Amino acid sequence: MIDGKKVLFSGMQSTGNLTLGNYLGALKNWVALADEYECFYCVVDEHSITVRQDPAVLRKRARALLILYIAAGIDPDKACLYYQSHVSAHAELAWILNCFTYMGEMNRMTQFKDKSAKHADNINVGLFAYPVLMAADILLYQADLVPVGSDQLQHLEICRDIAQRFNNIYGDVFTIPEAYIGKAGARIMSLQNPEKKMSKSDENPNASIYLMDDRDTIIRKFRRAVTDSEGQIAYRDEQPGIRNLLDIYCACTGKTPDDAVAEFSGRGYGDLKSAVGEIVADTLDPLQKRCAELTKDKGYIDSVIKNNAEKASFYATKTLRKVQHKIGFPDRIR
Ligand code: TRP
């Protein structure tokens, strides 16, 4: 708890181009959460280097992501928006937690298996220990809640296990975090394979809508979206492509699937695709403009980066010092 509010932590990587899925599935919900909770939204650049990065690109994208958080409507005076690498407590706590995590536990992580298959030439120790750094992120702020996608639930589970293990030995040091399951968080699927989540690392650029795509590109990608041969617009498991288009439509308009189905009843797939393309373009247009404006306001963004890193450090260091003392590191001389 901070000032009587529950603490909520989440983070995103700045690698790759963020997609409509990242926006509708995560970022858009983060905005509202900041009214209710004490939120820390981190740009997890330390996680990014588990895969080889071009330094200039990484730096540029990290800043773009932080700007996107603000452009999406998160008020940086309320929620703490910062870079993981600016708060050294993350790496320090991660080291300590490494010593409370078993190889066997990490070996079971499905994301590690997937990523090591994908980057077979660079299966580094950081990639292996990735979930431990993520646990440190969360535990440093004594977070009560963590909004994560289903692909990260296994990591959150391990975080809870590590925290519980630590508390069992040293007393109540860490708050045990829980997954925040939002109100029907939109799960946006690939436009080319609606059985698969829309992903920023998809090789097929037509599979994803990138947040910076222009209107024509958006419309064209929706026109090419994979559907089915049923020929009727219904919201059901048997028609995952149509259902995904309806989900996107609903996430952008706030309508329910029933309303959307009624609206499109008797109309063709082409109509639905154009309508979804238009509404997505209308949704992203103001976001893109705001990003462009904020990007120009260097002084303001720099001040957000500096102030919020200090705020994050304040809370993180408090937890870190407690942990260091508990495990027997010599106290600092003041
Ligand atoms: N691993 C998360 C992802 O790839 C990002 C992340 C890092 C995170 N640390 C976190 C998410 C802490 C929630 C809480 O999506």
| 307 has a pLDDT exceeding 90 | yes
What is the predicted pLDDT for the residue at 183?
60
Rounded mean pLDDT, 102-107: 95
Instruction: Dump pLDDT digits (tens) for 128-166.
Output: 999 999 999 999 999 999 998 888 999 999 999 999 999
Q: What is the mean pLDDT of the chain?
A: 95
Q: Domains plus CATH for the chain?
A: 7-180+298-327 (3.40.50.620), 205-292 (1.10.240.10)
pLDDT tier at 104 (50, 70, 90 boundaries)? very high
191-215 burial, b at 16+ Cβ within 10 Å, e below that, comes to: bbebeebbbeebeeebbbbbbebee
Instruction: Dump pLDDT digits (tens) for 20-43.
Output: 998 998 899 999 999 999 999 999
Instruction: Dump pLDDT digits (tens) for 48-70.
Output: 999 999 999 999 999 999 999 99
| 5 has a pLDDT exceeding 80 | yes
CA 79 to centroid of ligand 1, rounded, Å: 17
What is the predicted pLDDT for the residue at 194?
95
Q: Is 6 a catalytic residue?
A: no
Q: Which residues line ligand 1 (CB under 6 A)?
A: 9-13, 44, 47, 134, 137-138, 146, 148, 152
Q: Is 197 a catalytic residue?
A: yes
- DSSP for 282-325 reads HHHHHHHHHHHHHHH-HHHHHHHHHHHHHHHHHHHHHHHHHHHH
Q: Which residue has the tokens 């740009």?
A: 43
